Amino acid sequence: MSMLAAIGQVANFAVGVAVNPLTFLGLVPVFAAGLTFMRYISFDPEAHPININHVRPEYDFIVVGGGSAGAVVASRLSETANWTVLLVEAGGDESEISDVPSLSGYLQMSPMDWMYQTAPPNEESQYCLAMVGDRCNWPRGKVLGGSSVLNAMVYVRGNRLDYDHWERQGNPGWSYEDVLPYFKKSEDNRNPYLARNAYHSEGGYLTVQESPWRTPLSIAFLQAGRELGYQVRDCNGEQQTGFMLSQGTIRRGSRCSTAKAFLRPVRNRSNLHIAMHAQVTKVMIHSKTKRAYGIKMVRNNRPQLVRAKKEIIMSAGAIGSPQILMLSGIGPRDHLESLNIPVMSGLKVGYNLQDHVGLGGLTFIVDDPITFTKKRYQTMQVAMEYILHEKGPMTSLGGVEGLAFVNTKYAPESGQWPDIQFHFAPSSVNSDSDQVKKITGLRDSVFNTVYKPLKNAETWTMLPLLLRPRSTGRIMLKSRDPSVYPDINPNYFTHEEDVQVLIEGIRIALNVSSTRAFQRFKSRPHKIPFPGCRQYEFDTDEYWECSIRHFTFTIYHPTSTCKMGPATDPDAVVDARLKVYGIRNLRVVDASIMPTIVSGNTNAPTIMIGEKASDMIKEDWGIEII
């Protein structure tokens, strides 16, 4: 896309109307447009990766999925010059719009999104009751860079105890001390107060920094944390419990996806081929030797077989990887046989599905004009500040200005393994009604009753998330046809303790609003109930449980469907080297291998998994790791 068209597209999104690029440029001095163009050409060396036209019949390694893990693996394996690597991605490339941090919500339900939805609830598990069809949307990136192109760019590593717990479950090499070097290997931290300590680093491919812009409410959020007895700290550092300004994967005011971080710098490596718009339908496995020797994929409506001399690495994500494995005969025997799929290895693929879930739309009202509203910040002036200076509101990390990790009464007594995470945003559901309804799937009747009355109000929101759910779900095939989406049953709230922990988290969020820091702005909760919850009094346990089951909200962190574990674990799909049990030369490298979900956003841990797996693959093929 030309810079002229890019400016026009950013303007379209910024002001919410159709703007002709030429008309838009007419509002700006010609020299400014010229300087902008020269800045992108002269100072942005990150030309987009090359989409190879002709795929070879054979490579040493085939990486399936170019997302948060797959982009890392392909980049790192191609560092070995005599290895040939093919990266296969079902989607296309990023766009200039996906670069703009504040526009992340506009990418969901777009061609860059697989647009998955959960299965409707059942008698045992009631959730998403305020959504159209009682289904929650589950965005997943169908684009080079995967969900790192759609997400809010929040950089959180999880808790050190998460990884120590992985190791205690029989996964040697996955303790916190083992994985910390891989977090640091990726990182190029550009906040000086963070970069020069034992927990962060500079010079990696992945840029991490705070947004250069925030509202006054972000400072109130930190002050509120102190009032409640929490420290303001780097939650990616020595301890996690506390409040912080969000760290994000952004660079020069723009999104830093894994495609931008790991693939653009190596785009000219002759041993790395990237095939976009190519959907893998099956892993080819020799029926007698049980060796994975190739993949079937569809590209330009034509099927193609590509062979792998060394290994196939599945990095299609917590939904895509189990789907492709099951289509290939790796999965629960009874389930595969019911679909007449020959079983190559009977493993519990698709089980153990975990996600971070919470209450959406927890809204607070303030009197001062300081919140992030569409009418105030989506203007031509704001767009030009971003285009010319890479600053201003459009650098906001999907609107998430602050994070907190807090302890309910159900958390371990040490206080070092918090069980609730807050995402703080100086805006709310009412800020952009059409887009919010599109993303969340909220019924019109629910939105109009609960949030439309706030159309002109100044509001902010807190999203309380359950960090370590006891309830687990499952991914199942609906058909042998690869184009048919699998059944996604998250089984939210089947364990009553999950609901109880969330209710405690909601009450802590109410306490945040009640602090002196927020009372300066006369903050108070929005109390109009969901239509299905009118029979309950506000702030009773029954009221909050009903609200949670209606506006069930996930920030799209599915994990654990190809569980890593020892051979003695009947639920394990891969071992600690991420090799699939019973199949040679096949690994899974993405969020699906997590034995238990991490206590925090999953993008950074998934990148870490890609880094660590790349070194393990090199070691297993005789490459010395320095």
Taking phi over 0 as left and psi of -120 to 50 as alpha, with beta for the rest, 128 belongs to: left
- DSSP one-letter string for 211-275: -S---HHHHHHHHHHHHTTPPB--TTSS---EEEEPEESEETTEE--HIIIIIGGGTT-TTEEEE
Taking phi over 0 as left and psi of -120 to 50 as alpha, with beta for the rest, 385 belongs to: alpha
User: Looking at the DSSP assignment, which residues form a beta bridge with residue 131?
Assistant: 442
Which residue do the tokens 């800020």 mark? 431
Spatial separation of the C-alpha atoms in residues 150 and 214, rounded to whole Å: 21
Which stretches within 29-95 are classed as H helix?
30-43, 70-77
Instruction: Flag whether 382 is marked binding.
Output: no
Spatial separation of the C-alpha atoms in residues 110 and 99, rounded to whole Å: 15
Terminal CA-CA length for the chain: 40
Instruction: Flag whether 88 is marked binding.
Output: no
The DSSP call for residue 141 is: B
User: What is the phi/psi pair of residue 248, to 5°?
Assistant: -145, 160
**Strand pairing report for 363-366 and 458-466:** antiparallel
Judging by beta carbons within 10 Å of its beta carbon (0-12, 13-18, 19+), is residue 268 exposed, middle or buried? exposed
Spatial separation of the C-alpha atoms in residues 494 and 499, rounded to whole Å: 9
Amino acid 141 reads G
Q: Which of 607, 610, 606, 600 is nearest to 154 (CA)?
A: 600
What H or E segment, with its residue span, contains residue 549?
Answer: helix 541-550
Kindly tell me the sign of the dihedral angle through the C-alpha atoms of 5, 6, 11, 16: positive
Instruction: Flag whether 100 is marked binding.
Output: no
Instruction: Flag whether 143 is marked binding.
Output: yes
Instruction: Flag whether 152 is marked binding.
Output: yes
Judging by beta carbons within 10 Å of its beta carbon (0-12, 13-18, 19+), is residue 351 exposed, middle or buried? buried
Which among 200, 273, 550, 557 is annotated as catalytic? Answer: 557
Is 557 labeled as catalytic in the residue annotation?
yes
CA 357 to chain centre: 13
* Separation in Å, CA 19 to CA 12, 22, 388, 419, 450: 6, 8, 18, 46, 33
Instruction: Flag whether 109 is marked binding.
Output: no
Look at residue 206 and give its three-state secondary structure: strand
Show binding-site residues. Answer: 143, 151-154, 280
Show binding-site residues for FAD. Answer: 143, 151-154, 280
The catalytic residue positions are: 557
